[in-house]
């Protein structure tokens, strides 16, 4: 099986500055560390780097740094950080990103923005500028913000959008699992009605605090399949965020092998549903991001 990890983070606090790193996350996770977490039982492996939210002044520096370690870390494409609500400043930033061939899309983190932010005139104009370059947009939102992504897809139908982490639904813990709630299910189906929107099977381990049971996450994977079909799903590890035991004291503990386990969870689910693993683990991501 060939695998492209559609959602890989890399960072090094000694190189760039971040305001959100804490506890077990406040370490270097770069080429050495990801090579220690290579997947087992696959014939080929590559990854798409997704911006890790350094301070705004380091956004372009992040792309340069990832470019410098891309070959060593298996990165074939970059989803760069970009503020899309700043008019001419946004246009200039996108032009600077375009100087880097690995950039295929951008992410403006929406999970921390107010509801409706993605529908503002300034943001929609920025999203259209992204689409005009043939790039994509990673939508990282919380579950209640999924309708904002649906509205964005309607406003900019030429923009390819991928929903990160299934929209971060509440799934409980391995000891106290939650079933998919009707609101999330309905919002997911409505979002999927826009044909240019894809969904990443990623991030659920982090939503459990780092420990999950396969039976716990299967209903959420099934819901994504029912909404998007196998042709618009892609696997992502969300490494290293989804490899942290957030229940451990002092800011959590790193869980070696968690990336492999999430891969096996989704791969086994795909087999059990008779799905085309080549699409979910390889070709869908390549097609969405325009990687050749």
- Could you report the average pLDDT of every consecutive run of 10 residues in the chain (292 residues)? 98 98 97 98 98 98 98 98 98 98 98 97 98 98 98 98 98 94 98 98 96 96 98 98 92 96 98 98 98 92
175: number of Cβ within 10 Å: 9
Question: How large is the angle between the packed helices 121-132 and 88-97, nearest 10 degrees?
Answer: 30
Local structure of residue 29 (DSSP, 8 states): B
pTM of the model: 0.98
C-alpha angle with apex 34: 30 to 37, nearest 5 degrees?
155
Task: Look up the CATH number of the domain holding residue 118.
Answer: 3.20.20.140
pLDDT digits (tens, 9 = 90+) for 168-209: 999 999 999 999 999 999 999 999 999 999 999 999 999 999
Instruction: Say if strands 244-245 and 253-254 run parallel, antiparallel, or are unpaired.
Output: antiparallel
The H or E element that residue 238 is part of is none
| Domain span including residue 262 | 2-289
128, 84 Cβ separation under 8 angstroms: no
Q: What 3-state DSSP class applies to 198?
A: strand
Q: Based on the structure, what is the number of domains in the chain?
A: 1
Give the distance, in angstroms, between the CA of residue 282 and the centroid of all CA atoms in the same chain: 15
Q: What is the pLDDT of residue 170?
A: 97
β-pairing verdict for 103-107 and 197-201: unpaired
Q: Quick one: pLDDT at residue 250? A: 85
pLDDT given at position 182: 98
Helices H / strands E in the chain, number of each? 11, 10
228 token code pair:
């998007």
């Amino acid at each position: 099986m060939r695998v492209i990890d559609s959602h890989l983070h890399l960072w090094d606090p000694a190189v760039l500055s971040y305001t959100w790193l804490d506890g077990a996350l406040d370490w270097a996770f770069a080429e050495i560390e990801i090579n220690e977490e290579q997947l087992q039982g696959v014939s080929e492996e590559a990854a798409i780097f997704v911006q890790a939210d350094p301070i705004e002044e380091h956004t372009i520096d992040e792309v340069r740094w990832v470019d410098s370690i891309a070959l060593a870390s298996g990165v074939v494409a970059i989803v760069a950080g970009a503020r899309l609500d700043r008019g001419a400043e946004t246009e200039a930033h996108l032009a600077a990103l375009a100087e880097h061939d690995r950039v295929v899309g951008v992410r403006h983190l929406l999970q921390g923005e107010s509801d409706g932010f993605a529908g503002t005139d300034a943001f929609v104009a920025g999203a259209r500028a992204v689409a005009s370059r043939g790039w994509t947009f990673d939508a990282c939102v919380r579950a209640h913000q999924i309708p904002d992504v649906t509205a964005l897809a309607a406003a900019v139908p030429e923009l390819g959008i991928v929903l990160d982490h299934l929209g971060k639904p509440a799934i409980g813990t391995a000891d106290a699992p939650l079933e998919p709630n009707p609101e999330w299910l309905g919002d997911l189906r409505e979002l999927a009605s826009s044909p240019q929107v894809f969904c990443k099977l990623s991030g659920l381990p982090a939503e459990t605090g780092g420990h999950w049971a396969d039976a716990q996450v299967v209903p959420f994977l099934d819901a994504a399949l029912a909404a998007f079909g196998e042709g618009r799903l892609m696997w992502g590890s969300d490494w290293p965020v989804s490899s942290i035991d957030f229940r451990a004291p002092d800011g959590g503990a790193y869980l070696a092998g968690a990336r492999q386990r999430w891969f096996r969870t989704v791969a086994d689910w795909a087999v059990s549903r008779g799905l085309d693993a080549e699409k979910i683990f390889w070709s869908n991501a390549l097609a969405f991001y325009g990687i050749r």
